[in-house]
Amino acid sequence: MPYWLDSMCNVQLIRRRASTNAWTVGWLVLIALISFYMIRDMAGARRPVYDLKPAAEAIMAESESAESAELASVDPAPIDPAPASTESAAAVVAVAESTQRTFNETRPVAAEVAARNPKQRDADALKSAESAPATVYPVVIRRPEGPPIIELEQPDPLGRVGKLTCSTCHSVRPPNRERRRAEDLKEFHRDMTFAHGELACYACHNPNDSDSLRLADGQRIAYPDVMDLCAQCHGAQAKDYARGLHGGMIGYWDLSRGERVRNNCVDCHDPHAPAFPHMIPTFKPRDRFLHPHEESTGHDVSDEQED
Amino acid sequence: MTDPQDKPQPLPELPVISRRTAVKGAFATLGVAAFAGAMSPLKELVTRVSPAELFQQHYQELTAEDKERVLLRLEQEAKQQYGADVTIGDDRPLPGTKFVYAINLSLCNGNAKCVEACNRENNHDKATNESYIRVLEMTKGTMDMGHGNLTYNHEVPAEGKFYLPVQCQQCDNPPCVDACPVEATWKEEDGIVVVDYNWCIGCRYCEAACPYHARRFNWKQAEIPADEVNPDQSYLGNRIRPVGVVEKCTYCLHRTRRGRLPACLEACPTGARVFGNVLDPDSEIRWLLKNKRVFVLKEELGTKPAFFYFFNE
């Protein structure tokens, strides 16, 4: 045992050897200091403490009141506004946005669409009336443009120029409901890829008005309102969408500072082949742990080797 | 006879140096050399670090005027080193906000657009494609992140795999903050764990303490072409970090504290990411936490992440 430790432990030795008392006192002071700082730190005097208590209390109070409210009114009104209903869509949708997406066709300009869609203008007015006092910016849902339109690149054999809509051809050809899929067709649309369940063309396209779509009950619905059409079958996704949990968005989380723009269904899903496409990841961090050649024993890559 | 020239010249008288003195002198020389060697990093310090930076106080002790001076200096440095005109703001937590993030793993397909967006938004090094986000390719039915594959490079989503993006979880009980010996990292009122890059000593204890591998060390000065520098910067956020300090995801505080959505969310083509203020009873994230079955990573560690994952039911 070293002499200084000996001197600390052996009381008799300390008594006998006054010279070692200085060591002992020094050690005791050091230990006292260290324990003082440790106790003070553990007591949280100097640690930056993030106080969650008020927030937690607020959440508890809010959830309790919400629960009691839910119990009080069990059935009369659905708690979620039905996402597919036009009223709620009008309340959410504020401004028509021309989108980059095309149905393999060229598009008219946004103003044209807005002019053709009086419901949208109403929604605008509604939203601005609501938002005037609280200065809440809208959540804008991008809307597809109107019915597909093909612009002729050159005059046709009769010298006509202009735009073709679906009804240009379909208004003079009676709808044939026997033709269910693209491959059933004898001419036109034969090269279309279709992978959307067992749906037939006229499940969604309106046989009586080819510039519009139709709901399952036969009701006519305009192309820009296609989300209501999708929501008929994809209720889970529509519900999540209404809650802001489905679909990409940009803009502001804080609507008092700016608007949020959300994609609509057909921004990401091709209506004729709606499965989200496979992608190739193009951006990979290049740090040394991620190079299998440089560090073949790294645990990050062991999975790849096993597989 | 003896020529005067032949007479041996008297040798110059050398001072008598005792062996002891010689040894002492040698050791003194060695000591001085060793001291100079030990202090030589200071020379580099003098050239690399301006006195203003050297004597800069901890962020939390800076007065308003101090901050103004510091931000101006940092903007000038960015101009000098990168040739980019940047504005560095001092974004403080918004009152009544607590940011929470969630990812829908059923939607995430591992395309890593978030990784790219993070790199661009946060002024990361372009040579190494550094980013605060790592996307792990995991076998379905497993949750062992140690076996997650970070180097997958094929069409996604692959059969039988799911993808787990991991970034800073902004824990409510952050082990990294406890590990810091100089209090250069702390948790702010809106839940974001921030780093004062000018106070950090680069010991990397926090990096070791983080169970999510969410912190990064600046091994070298970031290489960013002037036109790729994101000029919207924040002191505690995405300003270009000095070499030798630790950095981390800040939920894009230079955006989110100004009301905007994080860059990784805006970049996500699958819409898998949900972000918001959990103290707002009407927010999407609040509804999600109350109604969806969410989980956190490594819950058993008691870090209390503010970052949740969920699947479609």
Residue B64 sits in the same domain as residue B76: yes
Residue B77 sits in the same domain as residue B132: no
For residue A66, list chain B residues with Cβ-Cβ distance below 8 A. Answer: 281
Q: If residue A262 lies in a helix (H) or strand (E), which one and from where to where?
A: strand A260-262
Task: Summarize the confidence of residues B164-184 as an average pLDDT.
Answer: 96
Residue B26 sits in the same domain as residue B109: no
Taking the CA atoms of A162, A270, A169 and A167 in sequence, report the sign of the dihedral they define: negative
User: DSSP 3-state assignment of B223?
Assistant: coil
Share of chain B above pLDDT 90, in %: 84
Q: If residue A55 lies in a helix (H) or strand (E), which one and from where to where?
A: helix A53-72
Residue A26 sits in the same domain as residue A144: no
Does residue B152 sit within a domain? Answer: yes
DSSP character string of B253-296: HHHHTTTBPPHHHHH-TT--EEEEETTSTTSHHHHHHHHS-EE-
Q: CA A111, CA B259: separation in Å to the nearest integer? A: 29
Question: Domain limits at A21?
Answer: 3-42
Does residue A26 sit within a domain? Answer: yes
**In the prediction, which pLDDT does A16 show?**
55
Q: If residue A7 lies in a helix (H) or strand (E), which one and from where to where?
A: helix A3-9
Residue A35 sits in the same domain as residue A159: no
- Cα-Cα-Cα-Cα torsion B286, B292, B298, B304, nearest 10 degrees, comes to 20
Does residue A249 sit within a domain? Answer: yes
**In the prediction, which pLDDT does A219 show?**
93
Give how far B157 is from chain A: nearest CA, Å. 6
- Average pLDDT for chain B: 92
Does residue B68 sit within a domain? Answer: yes
Q: Is B206 an interface residue toward A (CB < 8 Å)?
A: no
Indicate which of B147, B255, B264, B282 best probes the interface with A, i.e. most A CBs within 10 Å of its own CB.
B147
Per-residue pLDDT of A202-248, as tens digits, reads 999 999 888 999 999 999 999 999 999 999 999 999 999 999 999 99
For residue A301, list chain B residues with Cβ-Cβ distance below 8 A. Answer: 149-151
Tokens describing residue B183? 């209090």
Q: CA A268, CA A111: separation in Å to the nearest integer? A: 23
Number of domains forming the structure of chain A: 2
Per-residue pLDDT of A237-267, as tens digits, reads 999 999 999 999 999 999 999 999 999 999 9
CB-CB contact of B201 with B54 (8 Å): no
Taking the CA atoms of A196, A202, A242 and A145 in sequence, report the sign of the dihedral they define: positive
Q: CA A264, CA A99: separation in Å to the nearest integer? A: 10
**In the prediction, which pLDDT does A4 show?**
59
Does residue A95 sit within a domain? Answer: yes
Question: Domain limits at B105?
Answer: 99-310
Indicate which of A234, A250, A254 best probes the interface with B, i.e. most B CBs within 10 Å of its own CB.
A254
The residue from B42, B69, B89 where one domain ends is B89
Residue B173 sits in the same domain as residue B40: no
β B232-234/B87-89 pair status: parallel
Q: Looking at the predicted structure, is the pLDDT value of residue A20 above 90?
A: no
Q: Looking at the predicted structure, is the pLDDT value of residue A272 above 70?
A: yes
Taking alpha carbons only, the member of A56, A52, A50, A39 closest to residue B174 is: A50
**In the prediction, which pLDDT does A113 show?**
37
Give how far A101 is from chain B: nearest CA, Å. 14
In which band, very low, low, confident or very high, does the pLDDT at B226 lie, cut at 50, 70 and 90?
very high
CB-CB contact of B232 with B225 (8 Å): no
Residue B50 sits in the same domain as residue B158: no
Number of domains forming the structure of chain B: 3
Q: Which residues contact B227 (CB under 8 A, 6 or more apart)?
A: B84
Q: Is B107 an interface residue toward A (CB < 8 Å)?
A: yes
Residue B103 sits in the same domain as residue B239: yes
Does residue B265 sit within a domain? Answer: yes
Residue B182 sits in the same domain as residue B74: no
**In the prediction, which pLDDT does A78 show?**
41
For residue A278, list chain B residues with Cβ-Cβ distance below 8 A. Answer: 109, 155-157
**In the prediction, which pLDDT does B11 show?**
78
Residue B174 sits in the same domain as residue B262: yes
In which band, very low, low, confident or very high, does the pLDDT at B42 lie, cut at 50, 70 and 90?
confident
- Average pLDDT for chain A: 71
Residue A122 sits in the same domain as residue A10: no
Residue B198 sits in the same domain as residue B282: yes
**In the prediction, which pLDDT does A298 show?**
45
**In the prediction, which pLDDT does A165 show?**
87
- Spell out the alpha helix ranges (H) of A135-219: 166-170, 201-204
Block residue for tokens 């590990």: B179
CATH no. for residue B138? 3.30.70.20
Residue A121 sits in the same domain as residue A28: no
Residue B78 sits in the same domain as residue B133: no
Residue A10 sits in the same domain as residue A141: no
Residue A28 sits in the same domain as residue A162: no
**In the prediction, which pLDDT does B44 show?**
75
Residue B42 sits in the same domain as residue B119: no
CB-CB contact of A262 with A248 (8 Å): yes
Q: Which residues of B, range 248-267, sit inside 8 Å of A by Cβ?
A: 256, 258-261, 265-266
Does residue A72 sit within a domain? Answer: no
**In the prediction, which pLDDT does A193 show?**
85
In which band, very low, low, confident or very high, does the pLDDT at A184 lie, cut at 50, 70 and 90?
confident
Per-residue pLDDT of B7-25, as tens digits, reads 777 777 777 788 999 999 9
Q: Looking at the predicted structure, is the pLDDT value of residue B293 above 90?
A: yes
**In the prediction, which pLDDT does A290 show?**
58
DSSP character string of B175-203: HHHHH-SS--EEE-TTS-EEE-TTT----
Residue B196 sits in the same domain as residue B265: yes
Does residue A73 sit within a domain? Answer: no
Residue A18 sits in the same domain as residue A106: no
Task: Summarize the confidence of residues A271-296 as an average pLDDT.
Answer: 76
Q: Is B278 an interface residue toward A (CB < 8 Å)?
A: yes
**In the prediction, which pLDDT does A69 show?**
55
